[in-house]
Chains A and B, each alone.
Chain A
């Protein structure tokens, strides 16, 4: 039956047929505009259309159609990614997976659950918490981000220090390959399937190798007890040393988070203030979980370390409400920057823990050099920094400055043997910075893998890897167009 559509575009008509109806496709400018970026807003581009498949078969049919008509396409979850992985820079057909949001199966005995990609991260924990189980990876956006997106980005979170990131919790995947073929890898969730670890390769491939349509994840038993400590320091370096000392003491905290002065100013001005003193230089939020009998010992040790490092005030959460308040304050930290700055750019460098004081100092210098404030909210325990460069895109030149500052922060991380991204992914944001950590051969080794999965490069092209030789040009162009977003950016393919 022909559908009533306000377009003559034959591709859109055909795609609408595949997803069975006008309510499952967007193609008008006003609707598409809401899809011109994800959580990375500096660069924007309009998609050709957005389709909302209901099941794997529809995804496969869409992909087959796109592949056979050479239409670029990409998958999108909640669109909370921070590196621009879901931005349609090639005027892609966006395959939105948010309507595939079933919790397919829970197997508590074998500690696994099967979800569709649009299932929201926190909902999984909420669905099993009554039985005493939870899903460990907890990106700050877990309230709204999808597990499909988590797989694409190999999302981390505050509690990854002890429990690992998404890839450590993925047991099986159903994937639609870029040619439309559906494959199942370890769908029963049995580890170490014979052959190369495609699960590991797909997880964190930022949606460039395939589209995940079903995910088997590991679920964990709730720890018997949790204790959370909040420590205020007058010197950033004291806080940093305390981090190292805690780890060196042989404690594996569930989380070890740090915020600096500007960050504290932000969260205190926003929706979930805790009442942190305004004049402290840094705070640590430390959580220990496990067997109740063993926790007090560790907390005692943590308190001692803090004291040794000149802590001004240190307290243990007295109840679940207090703990929840501390965490809400921390987890909404990025968004909270909106309260003190119109725009922010968040970076995601990782460094060896021992280099914390050195790198934080360097970031401080960068801030002074470019003349923009930089807040730091980060996972100190695993050395995963999040410098938040505060700027106002309405002021001419500030966006460019912010980008420059971001790059300089990443360079500082790479220079001490770190990485340019710990959990946000490269996307379009950090393509050029890939060169800080990989040489040409190493980048080629990775694109060779993409060629195996995605030979026509129609799926989410132009992400992660800088094009050989053209990268500088692209970066320049990107910076220019980031202000005038209507212009077409790149002619990848």
Chain B
């Protein structure tokens, strides 16, 4: 009833904006009584101003793939969906830059760019759902981060609406820019707590002329060998784009081998890729098996599977009884080995499935847990301890609301949290946007 009044109030205030009353429900929270689908920046500005002035709370989302990421509330007043705010704004093919509306899905963007033999050099999860705005706001990255870096390396400009409706541009259209503070960095990964991105400008890279993935699967109990082999690769002249370590459960899903596996990928001109693949073949440790993915289809299917093993907020799992969670773990590069190994051990000691991978050249791991709620919770707690000893961090990228209310999604508060609180209160003093969805309850 209250909701009905609210929506009619909104409809009166914004007769032209598409909106609907919330329908489906899932166990991830971060919902809104009313879903609004703005199609212009003006609409976004006015909705934000309205909420700011009327003490309403807003949850921001693209297509909802990250609904299970952070946040302690079932629902806010308004869910601002950018799923209908999409399209390419400007593409400077010669300048290798693109400006895109934030609701555009990552896949759409890459498909557009591939016509020009260009790409955004990021490889986030669920490209078909993930909006570019969401990828940037959550600072999502994938295995190719080793070669190409993460969002903070690719984003050169943002257009962001502050809760009071002010439009702020940060960065610009050029690849090198130090005019003023590097505000882009602050907005990237801010989980929508500072403003609503409307446009993202990215620097592009040429599509590689050749790509190849070498998979090396190790026999059980050869951890020292894996470590030594990884160090050897990292210390060599080779330039892998990813050096991703897969646990047996994941390797089985991807390539049918239930073994710890290294996925080494190369992207470059043909002669260079061939040369490096040959080098890997030559240094292959004894008792390991090696396979090479060369043809496009194989490669596509490998990466697509890898990018879709984590749970997402779009394809809800209300039917299954099992609890799913996804963790992002950051440690020193080579400690990734320990995290993935211990993750596998926890799978065996608890009754659940852990599919996990991590980059030996960049230190970021993803662990997907699936099992009974208590087991999932207990494994998370265990992992936090393990990672704590490695001086790393654990972030829960996806978990049901109830679990998030129980376990701290962002981990311990840093000593400098006051600076972040200061930033938040300067920009969003009324806590309109994504309330309590971020570190330290920001």
- Give yes or no for direct A-B contact (beta carbon below 8 Å): yes
Q: Are B176 and A379 in contact (CB under 8 A)?
A: yes
Binds B, one of A159-167, A324-332, A334-342: A159-167
Given contacts A190-B330, A291-B272, A297-B269, A350 and B174 within 8 Å (CB-CB): yes
Q: Are A200 and B364 in contact (CB under 8 A)?
A: no
The chain B residue sitting closest to A443, CB to CB, is: B180
A352 surroundings in chain B (CB, below 8 A)? 92, 94-95, 97, 173-174
Given contacts A192-B364, A221-B237, A290-B272, A422 and B177 within 8 Å (CB-CB): yes
User: How far apart are the CA atoms of A247 and B203 in the complex, in Å?
Assistant: 13
Q: A188 contacts which of B178, B272, B332 (Cβ < 8 Å)?
A: B332
Given contacts A190-B393, A195-B410, A445 and B162 within 8 Å (CB-CB): yes
A382 surroundings in chain B (CB, below 8 A)? 174-176
Q: How far is the CB of B200 from chain A (nearest CB, A)?
A: 16
User: How far apart are the CA atoms of A298 and B271 in the complex, in Å?
Assistant: 11
Q: Are B272 and A195 in contact (CB under 8 A)?
A: no
A434 surroundings in chain B (CB, below 8 A)? 179-180
User: How far apart are the CA atoms of A205 and B414 in the complex, in Å?
Assistant: 21
Q: B150 contacts which of A110, A191, A209, A379 (Cβ < 8 Å)?
A: A191
Interface flags, B170-187, vs A, CB<8A=1, else 0: 101111111111111110
Binds B, one of A141-149, A305-313, A361-369, A446-454: A446-454
Q: A417 contacts which of B168, B172, B209 (Cβ < 8 Å)?
A: B172
B415 surroundings in chain A (CB, below 8 A)? 183-184
- In the assembled complex, B149 has its CB within 8 A of some CB on chain A: yes
Q: Are A290 and B239 in contact (CB under 8 A)?
A: yes
- In the assembled complex, A467 has its CB within 8 A of some CB on chain B: no
- In the assembled complex, A197 has its CB within 8 A of some CB on chain B: yes
Q: B183 contacts which of A193, A353, A384, A445 (Cβ < 8 Å)?
A: A445
Q: How far is the CB of A211 from chain B (nearest CB, A)?
A: 14
B173 surroundings in chain A (CB, below 8 A)? 352, 417-418
Given contacts A109-B231, A190-B332, A291-B272, A449 and B185 within 8 Å (CB-CB): no
Interface flags, A169-210, vs B, CB<8A=1, else 0: 000000000000001110011111111111111011100010
Given contacts A449-B181, A452-B422, A196 and B176 within 8 Å (CB-CB): no
A154 surroundings in chain B (CB, below 8 A)? 178, 182
Task: Please indicate which of the listed interface residues A194, A209, A293, A464 has the most CB atoms of chain B within 10 Å of its own CB.
Answer: A194
The chain A residue sitting closest to B160, CB to CB, is: A445
- In the assembled complex, B420 has its CB within 8 A of some CB on chain A: yes
Q: How many residues of B contact A (CB 8 A)?
A: 87
User: How far apart are the CA atoms of A164 and B182 in the complex, in Å?
Assistant: 14
- In the assembled complex, B299 has its CB within 8 A of some CB on chain A: no
Q: Are A201 and B427 in contact (CB under 8 A)?
A: no
- In the assembled complex, B93 has its CB within 8 A of some CB on chain A: yes
User: How far apart are the CA atoms of A111 and B236 in the complex, in Å?
Assistant: 13
Q: How far is the CB of A130 from chain B (nearest CB, A)?
A: 13
User: How far apart are the CA atoms of A20 and B296 in the complex, in Å?
Assistant: 66
Tell me the chain B residues, 230-278 only, with Cβ under 8 Å from chain A.
231, 234-239, 268-276
User: How far apart are the CA atoms of A424 and B177 in the complex, in Å?
Assistant: 9
A304 surroundings in chain B (CB, below 8 A)? none
Given contacts A109-B231, A354-B95, A419 and B179 within 8 Å (CB-CB): yes
Q: Are B172 and A418 in contact (CB under 8 A)?
A: yes
Q: How far is the CB of A196 from chain B (nearest CB, A)?
A: 5
User: How far apart are the CA atoms of A296 and B268 in the complex, in Å?
Assistant: 13
Q: Are A438 and B139 in contact (CB under 8 A)?
A: no
Q: A132 contacts which of B139, B235, B328 (Cβ < 8 Å)?
A: B235
Q: Are B179 and A426 in contact (CB under 8 A)?
A: yes
The chain A residue sitting closest to B230, CB to CB, is: A109
Given contacts A200-B188, A250-B117, A352-B92, A221 and B178 within 8 Å (CB-CB): no
User: How far apart are the CA atoms of A209 and B391 in the complex, in Å?
Assistant: 26
Q: Are A250 and B334 in contact (CB under 8 A)?
A: no
Q: Are A425 and B235 in contact (CB under 8 A)?
A: no
Q: A353 contacts which of B95, B194, B427 (Cβ < 8 Å)?
A: B95
The chain B residue sitting closest to A186, CB to CB, is: B330
Q: List 17 A-B contacts (CB under 8 A).
A: A110-B363, A111-B361, A190-B392, A191-B330, A194-B414, A194-B439, A203-B185, A204-B182, A205-B182, A224-B237, A352-B95, A419-B172, A430-B179, A438-B179, A445-B168, A446-B180, A446-B183
- 3 closest A-B pairs by CB: A200-B185, A294-B272, A250-B206
Extra inter-chain contacts (16) besides given A252-B205, A295-B272, A421-B177, CB under 8 Å = A107-B332, A111-B333, A132-B235, A154-B178, A183-B419, A184-B415, A191-B150, A194-B395, A196-B186, A200-B185, A221-B236, A294-B269, A352-B97, A352-B174, A417-B174, A449-B186
